[in-house]
A = this chain, B = another copy of it.
């Protein structure tokens, strides 16, 4: 009986044309606006307008603003970390290979959503405890990063220096350009077209720079 009810419900979901988009359109709209303007600057009416649906539908599909934000936040953070985590923990690859593959992957991922870093770090700052709840495995006492292959390899190559330094360097020279790009355009760098070629060049350069930096001390 219960199973039948489930089936019926499922088939009901399918049977209406329902554009099939509606829910997805709302999520896309919300994602775009949240990453662009942040949580508070984005209103439910903004989202509805951007998705070209009635205001009430946003609540109909996602219950509340906080809820739709959490869903999107979770996805964004997931893509942000998933695009590099597997590489960092791979015990089979050398430090070299990690640099090149992570840089390649990261620049590709963020290029498709350039506002992602600023959004992620901004929201983490505004709500530091939330990320712990979204990623319980990252809880501070677990210090998962410290046990990664990446971390150990860094430590082995340069035992005198805290590996966090190199992680900061690596993320800094990789991610920061995206964060600073609107500023650099004002500083004489032309168009986002140019930014793209710069980031392509950096794919090859960053691993080399990282190697050079590892030589210190």
Residues of chain A touching chain B, judged by Cβ–Cβ distance below 8 Å, are: 36-41, 115, 118, 121-122, 124-126, 128, 131-132, 135, 138-140, 142-146, 161-162, 164-165, 168-169, 171-177, 179-180, 182-190, 198, 201-202, 205, 208-209, 212-213, 215-216
In the bound complex, do residue A188 and residue B144 qualify as a contact, i.e. CB atoms below 8 Å apart? yes
What residues on B are CB-neighbors of A209 within 8 Å? Answer: 169, 212-213, 216
Q: How many copies does the complex hold?
A: 2
What residues on B are CB-neighbors of A140 within 8 Å? Answer: 185-188, 190
Min Cβ gap A178→B in Å is 10
What residues on B are CB-neighbors of A162 within 8 Å? Answer: 198, 201
A-B contact pairs, 8 of them (CB 8 A): A37-B40, A128-B186, A140-B185, A145-B187, A165-B201, A172-B174, A176-B179, A212-B213
Min Cβ gap A30→B in Å is 16
In the bound complex, do residue B216 and residue A41 qualify as a contact, i.e. CB atoms below 8 Å apart? no
In the bound complex, do residue A168 and residue B164 qualify as a contact, i.e. CB atoms below 8 Å apart? no
